[in-house]
Structure 1
Amino acid sequence: MKITALELSKPQLMRAATYASVGVAVLLIAIKFYAWMMTDSVSLLSTLVDSVLDAGASMVNLIAIHYALQPADSEHRFGHGKAEPLAGLMQSGFIFASALFLIVETVRRLLDPSTVENSDMGIAVMVISIVLTISLVLFQKYVVRVTRSVAVSADSLHYTTDILVNMGVIVALVVSAYTDWLWFDPVVAGLIALYILHSVRKIAIDAIQLLMDREFDEPEREKIFEIVLSNPKVMGMHDLRTRSSGPHQFIQLHLVLHADMKLRDCHKIADEVEKALLREFEDAEILIHEDPHDIEEELPDFAKEEAHQPEG
């Protein structure tokens, strides 16, 4: 029986994305290494180095996602999701190191320029690399859309930059083949290195924000307020706190209910609110605290500023 991507669970999709990225990276290393040996192109060397580091980063991802998907246990009661942003941070280190190596190699080749051999073969290899990488990135973007995986998202980002890198290498090989501009090949490699440094910034910042338990984006937080306050028995809410940990989301809030309600009724309303939130945030772990409406709580300043009451 044939299984399509739509039939795979989120954990299976995340694992499939890591296996695909490692497989593509290893294949690209093999064909780029052969092409570099035949051409001696520094821009082709740049993309070879990038693929080697891609393979290392993808292996880190594979291990991190395997760990992040493990269920919560007695020592990690919020799960193991932080392994994902840790992997993203390690990826940024891999990519930053590759950019520094390319800058050094660019300077060396500018000081001692040399011709590029067998350009046609190098161009063919780059075209194959682009086709493989585009296929991988399309699959990764689908997985990110379904799972919201931070590690797969970081992986997808640097493979997306690889597409542009490979296009730049094709341009460098064509120019080197038909002109005597020996400086063009290392200049392209240098521009690629600068682009890699630019792209690594987003990967590192996203990973750090998740490790620091950054709140959901504002549209998602407003959606939570909208869902909660749509229940006619809810008199207000405050102290909304949200965070993500790998594939897991956590939402906690204080629900303001009428002071004369029975505990059983309060619990029933909280359950209704939780179910409504789970329809929008299906993988979230939700914690709701019920407050009587006639008691004023001491709240942090940020909680006071965004306390909500139902309209009307």
Structure 2
Amino acid sequence: MLKREFRIILLSLAVSFVLTIAKFTAWFMTHSVAILSDALESIINVVAGAFASYSIYLTSKPRDENHPYGHGKVEFFSIGFEGAMIFIAGCLILFKAAQYFFTPAPIEDVDQGVWITGATTVINFVLGRYLLYAGKRSGSITLSGNGQHILTDAYSSVALIIALLLIHFTGWDWIDPATSAIMGGFILFKGYQLLRRSISGLMDETDMQVVDKVIDILSTHRRPMWIDVHNMRVQQYGSNYHIDCHITMPYYIELSQAHDELKAVDALINRELPKGETEFFIHTDPCVPTSCPYCQLLQCPVRSHPFKEKIEWTRSNVLPNRKHGE
């Protein structure tokens, strides 16, 4: 899978390099600051694509003594680097737009600029959608982040084409730096989004969608022996997950039986969770008398209280570090 991801990101890098040359050609022909802004963002595509290539290569390396959880966290550095590059590009674009407001330059060969920009926009849109699809399918946040960046480039290029057409038909050259300023603001926002995602991943912020999915899988395939699940923590490493949790089981079962139940949980999540590989660290808790009203093991030989109700597993009772009923 990672070899395929590496080939995809290299394709993205090659296409971005060619499109960057095309956009700078359009800028030399037109002298449009808006086209220059688009070309500057494409340079970031190339730099970010190169960093993403290294990130995917590093992610493919197996776990070792120094990296017991693997190298997947580098993907968060990758999208953080990409977000920072986008943010810097947005600042440069706003600076150039301000310059052209005070020292405007005539625009030439607008028709050629529209055709070149239009062609690069279509290619970037197709490439960006493909990267998002591949990233979602493989669980690679590097591919998804790169795809989001390239789609941002495509959307800003659409605004650029509209601006160039308006300049062509109206002759209002002030539209050029104004469009560049709008593009700069939009690019700054997209850079902030990627930086925010990077920081949340590096800080092990919980992805509640993954938590909900894990809870749903466990609830759907729930066994009577699994009295409750609590103190769940989910960490992401690239496309893989590391999950800690406590499972309460009857205190009298043998160690081998408890081990079999935990293996069943591990196999279940790895089979049902749609992407990546999940490593479980499960701590078993012995049941206590307060567990009896919620225990569905009706033939329990040591039950001290009758079964009362089934507790549905939700975030509110799976995430805290306490047994159900306590």
Tell me if TM exceeds 0.5: yes
1:52 alignment partner, one of 31, 43, 51: 43
Greater shift in the superposed pair: 89-98 or 277-286: 277-286
Is the 2:130–2:147 contact (alpha carbons within 8 Å) kept by the matching residues of 1?
A: no
Q: Deviations over 1:66-102 (max 9, x none)?
A: 1122110111111011111011111111111111111
The alignment status of 1:35 with 2:26, answered yes or no, reads yes
- Counterpart for residue 293 of structure 1: 287
Is the 2:234–2:242 contact (alpha carbons within 8 Å) kept by the matching residues of 1?
A: yes
1:272 alignment partner, one of 264, 267, 273: 264
Cα 1:239–1:95, aligned 2, differ >3 Å: closer, same or farther? same
- Counterpart for residue 189 of structure 1: 180
- Counterpart for residue 225 of structure 1: 215
The TM-score normalised by the length of structure 2 is 0.86
- Counterpart for residue 121 of structure 2: 130
Give the counterpart letter for 2:279 in structure 1.
E
The alignment status of 1:112 with 2:103, answered yes or no, reads yes
Is the 1:123–1:173 contact (alpha carbons within 8 Å) kept by the matching residues of 2?
A: yes
The alignment status of 1:212 with 2:206, answered yes or no, reads no
CA distance in 1, matches of 2:321, 2:137: 30
CA distance in 1, matches of 2:319, 2:150: 43
1:43 Cα offset (Å): 0.6
CA distance in 2, matches of 1:269, 1:43: 62
Is the 2:233–2:319 contact (alpha carbons within 8 Å) kept by the matching residues of 1?
A: no
1:294 Cα offset (Å): 2.5
- Counterpart for residue 255 of structure 2: 263
**What are the equivalent positions in structure 2 for 1:35-114 lying under 5 Å apart?**
35-114=26-105
Give the counterpart letter for 2:20 in structure 1.
I
The TM-score normalised by the length of structure 1 is 0.89
1:306 Cα offset (Å): 7.0
SS of equivalent residue, structure 2 residue 253: coil
Is the 1:137–1:159 contact (alpha carbons within 8 Å) kept by the matching residues of 2?
A: yes
Greater shift in the superposed pair: 40-49 or 273-282: 273-282
CA distance in 1, matches of 2:167, 2:68: 58
Q: Deviations over 1:148-196 (max 9, x none)?
A: 2122221111111111111111112112222221110110010000000
Which structure 2 residue ranges, 5 or more long, are not aligned? 291-315
1:232 Cα offset (Å): 2.1
SS of equivalent residue, structure 2 residue 128: helix
SS of equivalent residue, structure 1 residue 289: strand
1:24 alignment partner, one of 4, 11, 15: 15
Is the 1:242–1:250 contact (alpha carbons within 8 Å) kept by the matching residues of 2?
A: yes
1:249 Cα offset (Å): 0.9
Greater shift in the superposed pair: 278-287 or 41-50: 278-287
Give the counterpart letter for 1:119 in structure 2.
V
Is the 1:231–1:273 contact (alpha carbons within 8 Å) kept by the matching residues of 2?
A: no
Is the 1:20–1:136 contact (alpha carbons within 8 Å) kept by the matching residues of 2?
A: no
Give the counterpart letter for 2:120 in structure 1.
S
CA distance in 1, matches of 2:207, 2:165: 46
Give the counterpart letter for 1:285 in structure 2.
E
- Counterpart for residue 199 of structure 1: 190
SS of equivalent residue, structure 1 residue 24: helix
1:26 Cα offset (Å): 0.4
Tell me which structure has the larger Cα radius of gyration. Answer: 2
Is the 1:21–1:136 contact (alpha carbons within 8 Å) kept by the matching residues of 2?
A: yes
Is the 1:258–1:293 contact (alpha carbons within 8 Å) kept by the matching residues of 2?
A: yes
Is the 2:232–2:320 contact (alpha carbons within 8 Å) kept by the matching residues of 1?
A: no
Report the aligned-residue RMSD. Answer: 2.0
1:220 Cα offset (Å): 2.7
CA distance in 1, matches of 2:180, 2:287: 64
Which structure 1 residue ranges, 5 or more long, are not aligned? 1-8
Is the 2:87–2:192 contact (alpha carbons within 8 Å) kept by the matching residues of 1?
A: no
Q: Deviations over 1:18-66 (max 9, x none)?
A: 1122111101111111111111011110100010111001111111111
Give the counterpart letter for 1:288 in structure 2.
I
CA distance in 1, matches of 2:4, 2:134: 6
Query: Aligned residues: percent identity?
Result: 24
CA distance in 2, matches of 1:202, 1:304: 27
2:164 alignment partner, one of 173, 176, 179: 173
The alignment status of 1:154 with 2:145, answered yes or no, reads yes
SS of equivalent residue, structure 1 residue 287: strand
- Counterpart for residue 254 of structure 1: 246
Is the 1:256–1:293 contact (alpha carbons within 8 Å) kept by the matching residues of 2?
A: yes
